[in-house]
Amino acid sequence: MAVSISPLDNRYAKKVEHFANIFNESNLNKTRTLVEIEWLIYLCSRLTPTFPKISQSSIKKLRNIYENFSISDAKQIKQIEKTTNHDVKAIEYFVRNKIKSDKTLMMYENYIHFGLTSEDINSTSYALMINNALKIIHKEYTDSLKLIKNLSLKGKNIPLLARTHGQPASPSTFGKEFKVFESRLHSQLKDLPSKKVLGKWGGASGNFHTFVITNSKINWIRESKNFFQLLSLPLNEITTQIEPHDCIADLSHQMIRCNNILLDLVKDIWLYIANDLFILKKKDKEVGSSTMPHKVNPIDFENAEGNLGLANSLLDFFANKLTQSRLQRDLSDSTVLRNFGMAFGYISLALTSINNGLHKLQINRIASQEELDQNWQILAEPLQIILKLEGYTDPYNMVKKYTRGAKMDKQDYLDFVNNLAISNKSKELLLSLTPSNYIGLAETISSLKL
C-alpha cells in the first residue's frame, strides 16, 4: 500500500486526478523530455548547417520517445537521478540512452541539451504544465459561475431583507445579491486566461553565452522566440538563470481574487442557511450529525471555505517566495514549484463542493417574507426621503426619533404615515410601500447582461 501524507493523494485523490495527471513527477519528466527533444529537432531542422540536418523519419523516432513515455521510462529516469543527484541531467542521460541503440539517431547525441542550463528545461516544462492546468481550472471556475448566474435569474424578483452591519437594512432580492457575486467573478475570470506563465531560454545566467559561442551570426533571441512559438508558450527574453516567476505571482494573485469572491459567497450562503432563508435539499441516506438526526448541515459550503483557504495560503506563499532569488539564482524555488499543483487541487475541491451546494439550495420564501414583515422600520429610509421632498428641514432626525433601534410592525408604520402633514400624493406613495416591494431596481440589476 502506497503511503501518502496529503488528503489530495488519498481521501480526495479521485476528485483531483485530472490535476494529479498534470503535476505528478512522471509527467514533469515526460514534459522535460519533450522540451529536450523538441529543441534538438529545432536545431537540426531549422539551424543547419550549424547543426546536422535531420530527416522526418528521425524526427518521428525522437518524438516517439516522449509520445510513448511509459512508467518504465519514468523509473529509468529516477534510477539515473540516484547517480546524478540532478533531475534534469538525468533527463539528458535518459534521452542519450534512448538514441544510442539507433545508428541514425546516434549522430545527434552531442546536440541533446545543447547550449542549455537545467532551468531552461525546468521553467519551460513548468510553464507548459501550469498553462495546461490553467485552462482546466478556468473551465471549473466558469461552471460555478454559470450556477451562480442561474440562481441570480431564478431569485431576481424574490425579496430579501438586506443586512448591513448585521442589522436590518433596505431590502434587496435573492437574485440581485447573487448577481453581485456573478459580476465580480465574471470580471476576474475574463482576465484569467491571459495570465500565461513564461518560460526562459538564456542559459546559465540568461545571456545566451553558449549560443553566441556556437555561431554569433545567428539571432539567438529570435530563434528562441520561434522555438517557443512552436511550443505555444511565451518567452521571457530578459532573465537571470531562472525565469523570475513574476508571471506566476500574477497568476497566483488573480486566482486568490477569484477565490476570495467565492469565499465571500459561501460565507454569505452559510449565514442565509443559518437564518433559514435557504433550505438545503435532503438526501435520504445522508446524515447531518452522528447524534442529532434532525440536522442538514451546510457541509459543502464549509468544505469549500476550508479548501479555498488552503489554496490561498499556498498561492500567497508562491507569489511571495518565487519572485525572490539570491543573485542570479538559488535553488529554493525548485522545491516550492514542485508543490504548485496542490493549489489547483484545493481550488478544484472547493469548486466541486460549491457546485454541489448550489444545486441543493432552495429559497425559503416563507421565512424571507416573515423576516420582512417583522421589520417595517426599514421603511424609515423612504419616509425621510419623501419628507425632504415635502419640504421638511430635518426629516432624518424626525424619523430617527421613532425608528432608531426600534421594531415597527405594519400598523405602527401605517399610523406614522397617516399622521404626517404631507400631500395626498406622497401619503399614497408611502402607504403603498411594504418591506417586500421596496426593492428599488434589484430585479432589473439581476437581469443585466455582463
* Residue 165 designated active-site: yes
157: burial class by Cβ within 10 Å (0-12, 13-18, 19+)?
A: middle
Residue type, 267: K
**Long-range contact set of residues 51-58: C-beta below 8 Å, sequence gap at least 24:** 51/111, 51/114, 52/107, 52/108, 52/111, 54/108, 55/104, 57/104, 58/104, 58/105, 58/108
405-417 CB burial, b ≥16 within 10 A, e <16? eeebeeeebeebb
What CA–CA distance (Å, rounded) separates 392 from 78? Answer: 83
φ, ψ (nearest 5 deg) of residue 361: -70, 135
Residue spans of alpha helices (H) in 329-394? 332-337, 340-360, 365-373, 380-389
What CA–CA distance (Å, rounded) separates 45 from 60? Answer: 13
What CA–CA distance (Å, rounded) separates 91 from 240? Answer: 22
Give the single-character DSSP code of 106: G
* Residue 86 designated active-site: no
State the catalytic residue, choosing from 4, 70, 187, 289.
289
State the catalytic residue, choosing from 57, 101, 165, 290.
165
Cell of 41: 529537432
Q: What DSSP element (H or E) covers 46? A: helix 25-46
Q: What DSSP element (H or E) covers 151? A: helix 118-154
CB-based contact 360:280 (threshold 8 Å) = yes
**Long-range contact set of residues 15-19: C-beta below 8 Å, sequence gap at least 24:** 15/348, 15/349, 15/352, 16/344, 16/345, 16/348, 16/349, 18/136, 18/348, 19/133, 19/136, 19/341, 19/344, 19/345, 19/348
Q: What DSSP element (H or E) covers 231? A: none
Instruction: Tell me which residues are annotated as active site.
Output: 165, 289
